[in-house]
Structure 1
Amino acid sequence: MARKCAVCGKGVAVGMKVSHSHIRTKKTWAPNLQRVKAIVDGAPRRVMVCTRCLRSGKVQRAI
């Protein structure tokens, strides 16, 4: 399963980690994804959703 939000599409961000001596190495920042049961197309499904979408109410959770 991809590390991408099913609602907003937020995914992994890539950048450089820079040390004090300016040695640069690749670094990734992963979104805070939660596996929740949500209503998708009228049926409950398990989807990966970022916590920002959960908090803002963009996801209707299923019981």
Structure 2
Amino acid sequence: MSKKCQITGKKPMSGHNVSHANNKTKRRFLPNMRTVRVTLPDGTRKKIKVSAKGLRILKKKNFELS
């Protein structure tokens, strides 16, 4: 299952968990993904995976979401 936004292109990034003793362990920061149905301008409906920011962009561009 892909964790990449089809609108913004956001992907998981890596970093560290840092303890109080400054021990560092690897971790992943995952984007906030949602699966939504979008009505395209030609009238067809398609399921796409978008991040929360991608949803805001779609709403701003007045795409039909359901």
Q: Give the alignment's TM-score, normalised by structure 2.
A: 0.76
Distance in structure 1 (CA, Å) of the matches to 2:62 and 2:2:
19
Equivalent pairs: percent with the same residue?
A: 29
Q: Does the Cα contact within 8 Å between 1:38 and 1:44 map onto a contact in 2?
A: yes
Runs of 4+ off more than 6 Å: none
**Where is the helix percentage greater, Structure 1 or Structure 2?**
2
**Is residue 2:43 matched to residue 1:22?**
no
Aligned Cα RMSD in Å? 2.1
**Can you give the 5+ residue segments of structure 2 that lack an aligned partner in the other structure?**
none
**How many equivalent residue pairs?**
63
Q: Secondary structure at the match of 2:64?
A: coil
